[in-house]
Amino acid sequence: MANDAIPVRTERAMMRREDNPFTFLQQEIDRLFDGFGRSFPAFAPPQAMMPRMDVSETDKTIEISAELPGLETKDVQLSLADNTLTIRGEKKSEREEQDKDYHLIERSFGAFSRSVALPEGVKAEDVSAEIAKGVLKVTVKKPAPKQSRQIDIKTAA
């Protein structure tokens, strides 16, 4: 009957999503594009140039380590403004002209910038940095905690 009160499912409607060949095709296309950026750095997403960082804290300091392989002191700038420490730099590409049928570059290059929020009151003179073996180490002295002071209340006459 065409006017059944209970809808009848067809075999196609009962097909699981995983069994649908178009779902499998979409997953494979997504996987292909995800891997494409890793195979060709020029097409990689912008975060590929972001240096990896570790931030740790002791009682008196904040310590930041950033991986900057191949960079030297002249390639990196460190600034402090509005309680934000910013590491900027640029990894330059070395061009090599050769008579070959192809050219493959697997190393990434370009400009980058990373920022870390610091506690209020940090002063530029309380920040020190050094770079060695491709790792930038920044040490920030924590500001002294603000002291509260008890205020005496006098009785009005």
pLDDT attached to residue 37:
59
Residue pLDDT, tens place only, 6-28: 555 444 444 455 567 777 778 77
pTM of the model: 0.58
Q: Which two tokens stand for residue 116?
A: 């870390």
Over the stretch 109-128, which tens digit does the pLDDT of each residue have?
A: 788 889 999 988 898 999 99
Q: Please check the confidence at residue 62 and state whether its pLDDT lies above 90.
A: yes
CA distance 83 to 119: 6
| pLDDT in the model for residue 24 | 75
More confident residue, 46 or 95: 95
Tokens of 142: 């924590």
Whole-angstrom Cα distance, residue 62 to residue 85? Answer: 11
User: Tokens 């910013």 belong to which residue?
Assistant: 86
